[in-house]
Amino acid sequence: MGIGAGVVALAIGGGATWLQLRPDRPAGRPEPAATTVSDPAVHAIPPVSPDQMAALDSLDKQAISKLDPAISRVGRRYLSEHPDEADPQVLIDLLPDPASDPIQAAASTVAAEFLAGDTVSVAGWVLSASEARAAAIVAYVCDGDVAC
């Protein structure tokens, strides 16, 4: 299935596990990302070279284009807050190998990262590091030649 399926699996897994941690909000009750992540124009993706964008050529862009646009918005926000990772190849290299079953690999990775505290906060949402990076890759794909 390759890295494309792994990225999609992590992004979908991210949609299933995002929780906003606020005292006035019960645990396990997510707030839709569209209401917590501001306008994409505010959090534009940092520009990258065509050579850097070539890292995305092997991804399943058709599958990524079917994801919820909120994932791309979260990815934009992550990139604006983590400019040191604003390179598609860096993001891909930081993701775990999807192995033979990318859905299972994504679920295991996300669970392990939460248990280890390897999380980031994006607009009040707590994500595993891999979820945030996968969302950033989705943002690059959606801002490129694929409409999401």
Measured CA to CA, the distance from residue 42 to residue 1 in angstroms comes to 34
- Domain positions in the chain are 2-143
Alpha-carbon distance 31 to 21, whole Å? 10
Q: Which of 65, 54, 116, 117 is nearest to 89 (CA)?
A: 54
- Catalogue the E-assigned strands of the chain: 19-20, 119-122, 125-128
Residue 136 has pLDDT above 70, yes or no: yes
Per-residue DSSP letter, 100: S
Strand partners of residue 19: 126
Highest mean pLDDT among 5-9, 95-99, 114-118, 121-125: 114-118
Is the pLDDT score of 90 beyond 70? Answer: yes
Q: Tell me how long the chain is.
A: 148
Average pLDDT over the chain reads: 74
Neighbours of 118 (CB within 10 A): 13
